[in-house]
Structure 1
């Protein structure tokens, strides 16, 4: 989830949990919301990993700063720092609980997306995900913002914030129902195609909570459909358009009615048998271990030759959108048929690294 939404959710939770009768030395409502805002943004400070390289950031993001095991320590650090910055106006003890709540709601907000969050770091790198919400969801953010704005009209009451959190919980629950509906579509396709041992996955998509990506995976192959659960008929853009509006229109047009959805087949190492051996060799290189551990649905992007040199790149089907090139593309290269493989490193946060 985007950092601004995280921060706003921390402010909302801080206001909703404010005591009715504050004790002496307790945070004021404004200070409490500020602490919640800052604390809920804090876990994304791991963005500094990008200073090393994109693959380091991608594979370690949502790690130690998102750990429920380390949460008490991070909350203590933030409480001490914010107390210091307030020139001891508030003690770290007064700040600690609100800081912990802010970090906790950030972790919860990331777990409900499809990226994966290492909540048991540093003792485990297993990434947990309950993929109900797309990483940028304007409806999710709007519910939080409305609660905060409504709270300004009743500064002495926490109930607008409480109501907003309740609505937010209902919205996530509704997304969970839609996730179940998307899974059922994938299961019906699996049974129709006789893919007995295949696994069915569903991932939220942008622009609408009704947009879903369904992946039926078996061995090293995938069947993928992009559906809008509300559409009865397939949708086409009204006409050509440029800029952001045109791009959003093309993306939205990629999600069709479940009854008429087009299933696309992908193979992890491509369709060409001669190149598949090279792709498999590149994939299994030790230098590529970090991306192998990160990618859930890896697919060959391309094999590029330049004289004796070759580069082989892959992407993860979780991070593709209709009408756009795949993001988070990583690869390995070698300068000669007998040369060592190395990571392909290009600039760009979400480019083709």
Structure 2
């Protein structure tokens, strides 16, 4: 998910906690824990500063998003609250653990995926059933905030309801995405899914031999063919990988790629992010002119 959504998750967790008997110091500790732990896995973006081998695409959402690292992040915030606020409360550890778990798990559902099982598996897990920016989640949390300000009921009630609605939304949309995915699985070598911003609508990317076809589809309408792409599967990519290491990283990171080998360029791109004639995940080298 995007940074705004993760921040909203943290604020929603904070507002779901009953703070009636807390003083300001405790509230600050809980706010720092809820929001900070909801963001901490994305600290891997700083790896761009020392990436000299084109590995950032694998590092981002890699080990920092591992399920096995979640208690480590939680312990970090527990100790941070002990240091800054002199508060030793096991509930802060549990809140941080939940926040990090929500971050890592929610990232599984969009097309970017995560290294959820690192270091025991380098596989990138990606369901592609929820867009990276999900406005439905924003709306649910926004409504909870408005109701908590305008009614006499306690704020935690509305935010607990918001979390239940978010879970239902993800379940319903992911179930639909799974059913759409299964319709394409038998007739293609590979299939990938990418949720659109419009709820219940998906981009389905299929590959059969050297042909990649991109559809727009949902359970309530006929599929629409958007693009047909030709991949140069017999192209020699050794030169590309030697000159441009990030191309090899993209090749390993993506479920499958489209290879471009024409008079001007040798490269590859991830078709899940193909829009208006190009993918923004495209790594290539220019060929020398005779």
Query: Above 0.5 in TM-score?
Result: yes
The answer as to 2:154 corresponding to 1:167 is no
Q: Is the 8 A contact 2:201 2:218 kept in 1?
A: yes
Paired residue secondary structure (2:278): coil
Partner in structure 2 of residue 113 of structure 1: 110
Partner in structure 2 of residue 209 of structure 1: 199
**Distance apart, 1:51 and its partner CA:** 2.0
**Distance apart, 1:64 and its partner CA:** 1.8
Deviations 1:21-69 (A, max 9, x none): 97x9998556424421121011111111222459433221111211111
Paired residue secondary structure (2:125): coil
CA distance in 1, matches of 2:38, 2:146: 18
The answer as to 2:60 corresponding to 1:70 is no
**Distance apart, 1:295 and its partner CA:** 1.9
The answer as to 2:230 corresponding to 1:267 is yes
Partner in structure 1 of residue 8 of structure 2: 8
Q: Is the 8 A contact 1:202 1:213 kept in 2?
A: yes
Relative to structure 1, the CA distance from residue 320 to residue 82 in structure 2 (aligned partners, 3 Å threshold; closer, same or farther) is farther
Partner in structure 2 of residue 313 of structure 1: 267
Paired residue secondary structure (1:312): strand
CA distance in 2, matches of 1:230, 1:29: 46
Deviations 1:111-152 (A, max 9, x none): 111211111223322111222101111112221232234334
Q: Which of 263, 271, 277 pairs up with 2:235?
A: 277
CA distance in 1, matches of 2:72, 2:278: 40
**Distance apart, 1:268 and its partner CA:** 2.7
Runs of at least 5 residues in structure 2 that lack an aligned partner in the other structure: none
1:322-337 matches, cutoff 5 A: 323=276, 325-332=278-285
Q: Is the 8 A contact 2:147 2:158 kept in 1?
A: yes
TM-score by length of 2: 0.82
Q: Considering only CA atoms, is the larger Rg found in Structure 1 or Structure 2? A: 1
Runs of at least 5 residues in structure 1 that lack an aligned partner in the other structure: 232-256, 271-275, 306-310, 338-353
The answer as to 2:109 corresponding to 1:103 is no
Partner in structure 2 of residue 343 of structure 1: none
**Distance apart, 1:105 and its partner CA:** 0.8
Relative to structure 1, the CA distance from residue 48 to residue 167 in structure 2 (aligned partners, 3 Å threshold; closer, same or farther) is same
Partner in structure 2 of residue 128 of structure 1: 125
Q: Tell me how many residue pairs correspond in the alignment.
A: 286
**Distance apart, 1:104 and its partner CA:** 0.9
